[in-house]
Amino acid sequence: MSKTLQAIRGMNDILPEQTPTWRYLESTFASLLDAYGYREIRLPILEFTELFARGIGEGTDVVDKEMYTFRDRNDESLTLRPEGTAGTVRAVLEHGLTGGGQVQKLWYTGPMFRYEKPQKGRYRQFHQIGVEVFNLPGPDIDAELIALTWRLWKALGLGDSVTLQLNSLGSSEARGVYRDALVAYLEKHFDALDEDSQRRLKTNPLRILDSKNAMTQALLADAPTLADYLDDDSRAHFEGLKARLDAMGITYEINPKLVRGLDYYGRTVFEWVTDKLGAQGTVCAGGRYDGLISQFGGKPTPGVGFAMGVERLVLLLETLERVPEALNAPAHAYLCAFGEEAERAAMALAESLRNEVPGLRLLVNSGSGSFKSQFKKADKSGAVYALILGDDELAQRVVGCKPLRDDREQQTIGWDALAAHLATCIEQA
């Protein structure tokens, strides 16, 4: 017997019950970004592997363990994008969008792929909405990005459920000096480190700071802290950011252990976290990556951005019951027709109603059926009215209009008056 085909583990179907919430989230965000003057960019899902290896960094979990990489028929190594920043940088360079100091404020959305251990809020195909800004070096734009996300949480009714964590990673030189100091300290305690941290000591020591291991965390209590190694410019940048957040009334927690898992960051890093989703509580994360473009061979160009996890935000909206009821609004009317001729007339009538009544949600019965069965379908659809078109109504160019959600009487309405009648009903609803 053949095996039933299933989706790949960690790659989810988004079923019709959920898509309205996705669209609500995406459209709320898109109109907000529009209002702030950000423009959408659409990027390929596949890129050359080298882009991510160089951009995100060898030694990061994403590059070392999580990429979906394969050789195509031309024997080129390609990778399903694990995130959107590297691809955006590649695109702006390729099209000269940042040349001559041009400012770019861009956003994107779409699926990303990481071979992670699937669990609630962590998937192998997941979706991000991300923003990347180029050629603005100051803390004002870091603050604007945070303000924009803060406005989104409020628009979605999530303002009380997320908190902002903030840190500065300093310049790459300062980070280098700090890294040496951290490694020197941890090497003295090598045997007490968890296995993952022992490995990271060689590949990516800063990531040890956000180890979940209790023993490692205890050791870190006395470790040198990054804040003590910040260079003056980074310190001034960080102060500038905090002052702007204070001015806007955006509260934050400084988290000196926030380092992020991708190599390209320097200076500002931030995460919006919630305690309502269990272990996968980061709903949005980002920071500054001023060195990334030059790493790809471009002129030094400041960059800063963030990405949010759509699945996690949908989960949060559902958990907190913040999905607006109106998203699942039923049809205004369900048109039943009886007999071949009436069915034909019903389709034409439906099209003219759709022309005349903007926003009309009208279902037309498909597959014929008795009066009883069509009426049952009309009721089950949740529609507010059943419109009835049989031979008699056809002859008189009228329909029966039966309210399905209250006990008002059925009315007979002429075809010419039906659009106006439905428009009034929609307004009153």
Angstrom distance (rounded) from CA 339 to CA 396? 15
Decide whether 205 or 303 has the Cβ nearer to ligand HAM. 303
Segment contacting ligand HAM (CB under 6 A): 155-163, 211-219, 299-307, 415-423?
299-307
Min CB(182)–ligand HAM separation in Å: 21
Binding of ligand HAM by 47 (CB under 6 A)? no
User: At which residue do the structure tokens 């490995």 appear?
Assistant: 199
84 is in an annotated binding site: yes
Binding of ligand HAM by 311 (CB under 6 A)? yes
Binding of ligand HAM by 38 (CB under 6 A)? no
User: At which residue do the structure tokens 């060689």 appear?
Assistant: 202
Segment contacting ligand HAM (CB under 6 A): 78-86, 227-235, 335-343, 358-366?
78-86
Closest CA to 157 of 25, 43, 26, 295: 25
Min CB(144)–ligand HAM separation in Å: 14
Angstrom distance (rounded) from CA 365 to CA 382? 13
Decide whether 169 or 336 has the Cβ nearer to ligand HAM. 169
Do residues 222 and 120 touch, judged by C-beta distance below 8 A? no
Binding of ligand HAM by 200 (CB under 6 A)? no
User: Which pairing describes strands 303-309 and 282-288: parallel, antiparallel, or unpaired?
Assistant: antiparallel
φ/ψ (deg, to 5) at 68: -90, 100
128 is in an annotated binding site: yes
Q: How close are the terminal C-alpha atoms of the chain, in Å?
A: 53
Binding of ligand HAM by 402 (CB under 6 A)? no
Min CB(77)–ligand HAM separation in Å: 21
Min CB(116)–ligand HAM separation in Å: 5
Decide whether 212 or 380 has the Cβ nearer to ligand HAM. 212
Number of residues that bind ligand HAM (CB under 6 A): 26
The continuous run of DSSP H or E covering 236 comes out as helix 232-248
Chain position whose Cβ is nearest to ligand HAM: 309
341 is in an annotated binding site: no
SS3 state at 38: coil
Decide whether 292 or 362 has the Cβ nearer to ligand HAM. 292
| Of the residues 208, 209, 307, 336, which one makes contact with ligand HAM according to CB under 6 A | 307
Segment contacting ligand HAM (CB under 6 A): 29-37, 83-91, 166-174, 387-395?
83-91
85 is in an annotated binding site: yes
Decide whether 188 or 322 has the Cβ nearer to ligand HAM. 322
Angstrom distance (rounded) from CA 90 to CA 102? 16
Instruction: List Cα–Cα distances, 341 to 350, 372, 394, in angstroms.
Output: 14, 19, 8
| Of the residues 47, 61, 132, 290, which one makes contact with ligand HAM according to CB under 6 A | 132
Q: Which of residues 269-298 bind ligand HAM (CB under 6 A)?
A: 282-287
Closest CA to 287 of 275, 300, 270, 310: 270
Exposed (0-12), middle (13-18) or buried (19+): which is 237, by Cβ within 10 Å? buried
What is the side-by-side strand order in the sheet with 362-364? 362-364, 333-337, 385-389, 398-403, 411-414
Binding of ligand HAM by 130 (CB under 6 A)? yes
Kindly tell me the number of DSSP H helices and DSSP E strands found in the chain.
15, 16
- What 320-329 contacts at long range (C-beta under 8 Å, 24+ apart), as own/partner pairs, is 320/157, 320/158, 320/161, 320/276, 322/156, 322/157, 322/158, 323/20, 323/21, 323/24, 324/24, 327/20, 327/21, 327/24, 328/20, 329/361
Binding of ligand HAM by 167 (CB under 6 A)? no
Min CB(197)–ligand HAM separation in Å: 20
114 is in an annotated binding site: yes
Binding of ligand HAM by 306 (CB under 6 A)? yes
The rounded radius of gyration (Å) of the Cα atoms in the chain is 28
- What mask of x and - would describe binding to ligand HAM in positions 109 to 128, judged by CB under 6 A? -----x-x----xxx--x-x
- Which stretches of the chain bind ligand HAM, using CB under 6 A? 83-85, 114, 116, 121-123, 126, 128, 130, 132, 262, 282-287, 305-309, 311-312
- Binding positions for L-histidine are 83-85, 114, 128, 132, 260, 264-265
- Binding positions are 83-85, 114, 128, 132, 260, 264-265
